[in-house]
Structure 1
Amino acid sequence: MSDLILHHYPSSPFSEKVRLILGHKQLAWQSVVIPRVMPKPDVLALTGGYRRTPFLQIGADVYCDTALICDVLEHRQPTPTLYPNHLKGMARVLAQWADSTLFWAAMGHNLSPTGAAALFAGQPPEAAQAFAADRGAMRAGMSSLRPGDATAAYKSYLRRLSTLVEDQPFLLGERPCVADFAAYHPLWFSRVVNPAMAGILNATPAVIEWMDRMAAIGHGQMSKLSATEAIAIAAAAQPAPLGDDVFQDEHGIALGSRVTVAAEAFGQEPTEGILRAATRTRYTLERTDERAGTLHVHFPRIGFVLRAVRA
Structure 2
Amino acid sequence: MSDIIFHHYPVSPFSEKIRLIFGFKNLSWKSVMIPSIMPKPDVVALTGGYRRTPIMQIGADIYCDTALIADVLETLAPTPSLYPEPIAGLSKTLAHWADTTLFWTAIAYTFQPAAMSGILGDITPEQMKAFGADRAAMRANAPRMSLPEATGQLQEYLRRLDAMLAGGQAYLLGDQASIADFSVYHALWFIRRVPAVAGILDAHPLLLTWMDKIAAFGHGQFEKMRSAEAIELASTSTPAAVTSSFVDTHGIALGEQVTIMPNDYALDPVQGELVTCSANQLAVRRHDDRAGNVTVHFPRVGFQMKRVTPA
TM-score range, shorter chain: over 0.9
Match of 2:281 in 1: 282
By how many angstroms is 1:286 displaced? 0.3
Following superposition, the deviation at residue 117 of structure 1 comes to: 4.6
- 1:186-245 CA distances to partner (integer Å, 9 max, x unpaired)? 1111112x2221011001111100000011110000110000000011011000011051
2:305 corresponding residue in structure 1: 306
- Gaps in structure 2 of 5+ consecutive residues: none
- Match of residue 171 from structure 1: 172
Q: Decide whether aligned partners of structure 1 residues 121 and 79 sit closer, same or farther in structure 2, where only a CA change above 3 A counts.
A: closer
CA distance in structure 1 between the aligned counterparts of 2:216 and 2:232, rounded to whole angstroms = 34
Q: Do residues 181 (structure 1) and 182 (structure 2) align?
A: yes
Where in structure 2 are the equivalents of 1:20-31 lying within 5 Å?
A: 20-31=20-31
What SS does structure 1 have at the residue aligned with 2:86? helix
Output one character per residue of 1:120-149: Cα deviation in whole Å (capped at 9) or x when no partner: 464211121111111111101211211111
Q: Secondary structure, in 3 states, of the residue corresponding to 2:133?
A: helix
SS at 1:218's partner residue? coil
**SS of the counterpart of 1:130?**
helix
- Name the residue aligned to 1:6: 6
Following TM superposition, by how much is the alpha carbon of 1:2 offset from its aligned partner in structure 2, in angstroms? Answer: 6.2
Query: What is the distance in 1 between the residues matched to 2:206 and 2:244?
Result: 46
The CA RMSD over aligned residues, in Å, is 1.2
Aligned to 2:108: 108
Distance in 2, Cα, partners of 1:128 & 1:296: 34
Q: Output the CA distance in 2 between the equivalents of 1:244 and 1:149.
A: 43
Equivalent residues in 2 for 1:26-41 (5 A)?
26-41=26-41
Matched, 1:222 2:222: yes
Partner of 2:45: 45
Q: Given residue 182 of structure 2, which amino acid in structure 1 is its aligned partner? A: F
Contact 1:120 1:127 in 2 (8 A): no
Moved more, 183-192 or 10-19: 183-192
- Offset at residue 114 of structure 1 (A): 2.3
The alignment partner of 2:131 has SS state of helix
Alignment deviations for residues 244-286 of structure 1 (CA, whole Å, 9 cap, x no partner):
51x2111111111111000001211111101011001110100
Does structure 1 residue 257 correspond to structure 2 residue 286? no
User: Do the aligned residues in 1 keep the contact of 2:2 with 2:58 (CA within 8 Å)?
Assistant: no
Describe the SS at the equivalent of 2:247: coil
The aligned counterpart of 2:63 is 63
> Which letter does structure 2 place at the counterpart of 1:175?
Q
- Which residue pairs with 2:196 in the alignment? 196
Q: Distance in 1 between matches of 2:24 and 2:32?
A: 20
Greater Cα offset, 283-292 or 138-147: 138-147
Amino acid paired to 2:305 = L
- Return 175-184 or 236-245, whichever deviates more: 236-245
- After TM superposition, the score normalised by the length of structure 2 is 0.97
Answer yes or no: is the 8 Å Cα contact 2:84–2:176 preserved in 1. Answer: no
